[in-house]
Amino acid sequence: MSSHPGYPSTAGAAHVSGLMPPSVVSVIFVPGPRRVLARVSGEIDMADAAGLRQNLTMALTASRGGLDIDLAAVTFCDSSGLHVLLDLNHLALRDGKTLVLTELSRSVALLLRLAGTHHVLTVHGWAAPDIRPVTGRPGPRRPGATGAGGSTPVGFGIKTRRHGSTVHLAPTGELDLDARPALDEVQSVLDGADVVACDMQHLTFVDVVGLHALLAFACRLNARGITFFTYNWQPQPRRLLDLFDDGYPPADGGGPARMLRRFRRSASAARAAGTAEARREDSRRTEPPPP
């Protein structure tokens, strides 16, 4: 449920209450002269995301300067909730407004860290150093961040090898907003290719912007009639794929959804192969020595 005490009597906010059916998520709106504060509490999942999106969109539309969202009382948030925040941010920028996350619960903060969206969304008082990384990665990369030893900037590159009509790609580094030019450049060397095989072994980190760039890259190859597949996914990108797979309903037959599930299947296969190899190694270690 939601409430809006003293909410401005504008067309965009006149019927905010009642849009969301009773559920485990609730929103209280506190209007101000230029901005609206939305205090969200409870659990945000696919069942509640549509109603939450509608409420927050109306509040953003009714505001003059933008929307502030307090997520301190959110106990759970999945990828559908993250999509709501990203879409609202895009809408705010389009309309010359801003979206600000004023407070984060631990679960939301970990989600933003995992998805790499903490540098896409505006977050007040972002306390990344106080949150144990989910992936073992030393911390979020920001513009100017350095790699091991603090000497070389962490970047992104793609190595290419060609054998007839098959092209092998080996991306290295971190796939984020800065990676798009490299992906665009690779398109120019794929003329005459039938198959593109992408080894993800040295791709150490992917954020949500990078994932969308990779999906767009794969869809462009598909439009050119080029088969594209990936393998050797690393743990953090695999977790991101698991997270965002929920954001595309199975009924969605569009290109991005199909490509995303293809990525996820290859990542799952890599995970299963790694588990099987670990079990074989454990079995070899526990076998008694031959007489």
Where is average pLDDT lowest: 57-71, 97-111, 241-255, 260-274?
241-255
d(CA 220, CA 151): 36
Give bridge partners of residue 2 from the DSSP assignment. 27
| pLDDT given at position 14 | 30
- Helix (H) or strand (E) segment spanning residue 69: strand 66-77
- CA dist 74 and 77 (Å) reads 7
Mean pLDDT of 18-34: 74
Calculate the average pLDDT of the chain.
Answer: 74
Cβ neighbours of residue 137 closer than 8 Å, sequence gap 6 or more: 204, 205, 236
Give the residue with greater pLDDT, 82 vs 154.
82
Phi/psi for 34 (5° steps) reads: -120, -25
Q: How far apart are CA 27 and CA 51, in angstroms?
A: 10
Confidence class of residue 156 from pLDDT cuts 50, 70 and 90? confident
b/e burial code for range 216-244 (CB count within 10 A of at least 16 → b): bbbbbbeeeebebebebbbbbbbbbbebb
155 CB burial (10 A radius; 0-12, 13-18, 19+): middle
> pLDDT per residue over 104-153, tens digit each?
998 888 788 777 776 678 988 655 433 333 333 333 443 334 333 343 34
> Is the Cβ–Cβ distance between 122 and 141 less than 8 Å?
no
Q: Which position has the token pair 């300067």?
A: 65
Tokens of 248: 């595309």
**Rounded distance between C-alpha atoms, residue 52 and residue 44, angstroms:** 8
From the list 138, 141, 134, the residue with the least C-alpha distance to 118 is 141
Q: Residue 251 corresponds to which tokens in the numbers above?
A: 């009924």
Q: How confident is the model at residue 275 (pLDDT cuts 50, 70, 90)?
A: low
Angle 16-21-74 from CA coordinates, rounded to 5°: 85
Q: What is the pTM of this model?
A: 0.49
The model's pLDDT over 36-61, given as tens digits with 9 standing for 90+, comes to 999 999 988 888 888 999 999 999 99
For the chain, helix, strand, coil in percent to 5 are 40, 25, 35
- Which of 80, 75, 136 is CA-nearest to residue 106? 75
**What tokens does 120 get?**
């896409």
pLDDT of 259 over the 90 cut: no
